[in-house]
């Protein structure tokens, strides 16, 4: 779509948010689009395997461990606490799981990837200042992670065709929000455009 403002260089990394079985068809929070965007997420990972980072959303073991309003949240979803949940559902979906390791995985207990402070420290240590964001869900964990990255000053590129939601309406609203209200801080581009702008010599 020609919406990237500059080529991608040695400071770029692919942040894949919560592409877990928890949100796949077999999980308790199915996101129908996940299967549709998965090949594009895999394409980005394969393009730059050494620059892939994954996050996972980890529910509490029991409702009582949830803080504040998160307790009310898990009172609605008690079957998703770890005492009831099949632990395999927390894992990344295939074929993404085969990339981690060596790709690092940052676990979090809330929506934003940056709620795990180790992620920001990892990126700063390696001078990675451009984030290419894919994952699930557009209007929840992806949204929280993108806005946290904006607050921290990262260049943020959302792969428009590699994010997914269980709601068409709010997915479309978020794409419009990114375009209309955050046009100087968030770039949107298609997967192939991102790959074309990200030389393999940089990704290797």
pLDDT tens sequence across 120-164? 999 999 999 999 999 999 999 999 999 999 999 999 999 999 999
Taking Cα atoms as reference points, which of 101, 3, 105 lies closest to residue 58?
105
Cis peptide before 102 (omega within 30 of 0): yes
Pick the CATH number of 12-203 from 3.90.226.10, 3.40.50.850, 3.40.50.300, 3.30.360.10: 3.40.50.850
> Three-state SS for 128?
coil
pLDDT at 173 > cutoff 80: yes
190 within 8 A of 160, measured Cβ to Cβ: yes
137 within 8 A of 23, measured Cβ to Cβ: yes
% of residues, the chain, pLDDT over 90: 91
Instruction: Output the six-digit token pair for 3.
Output: 């919406």
pLDDT at 78 > cutoff 80: yes
Query: What is the mean predicted confidence (pLDDT) over 111-122?
Result: 98
């Amino acid at each position: 779509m020609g919406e990237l403002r500059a080529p991608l260089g040695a400071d770029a990394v692919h942040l894949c948010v919560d592409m877990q079985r928890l949100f796949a068809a077999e999980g308790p929070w199915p996101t129908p689009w996940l299967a549709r965007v998965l090949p594009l997420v895999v394409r980005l990972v394969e393009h730059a395997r050494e620059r892939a980072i994954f996050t996972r959303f980890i529910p509490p073991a029991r409702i009582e461990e949830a803080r504040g309003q998160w307790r009310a949240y898990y009172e609605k979803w008690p079957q998703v606490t770890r005492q009831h949940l099949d632990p395999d559902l927390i894992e990344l979906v295939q074929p993404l799981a085969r990339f981690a390791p060596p790709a690092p995985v940052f676990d979090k207990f809330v929506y934003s990837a940056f709620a795990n402070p180790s992620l920001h420290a990892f990126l700063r240590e390696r001078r990675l200042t451009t984030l290419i964001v894919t994952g699930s869900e557009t209007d929840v964990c992806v949204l929280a992670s993108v806005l946290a990255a904006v607050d921290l000053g990262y260049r943020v590129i959302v792969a428009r065709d590699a994010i997914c939601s269980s709601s068409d309406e709010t997915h479309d609203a978020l794409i419009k929000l990114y375009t209309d209200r955050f046009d100087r801080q968030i770039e949107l581009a298609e997967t192939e455009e991102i790959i074309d702008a990200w030389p393999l010599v940089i990704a290797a």
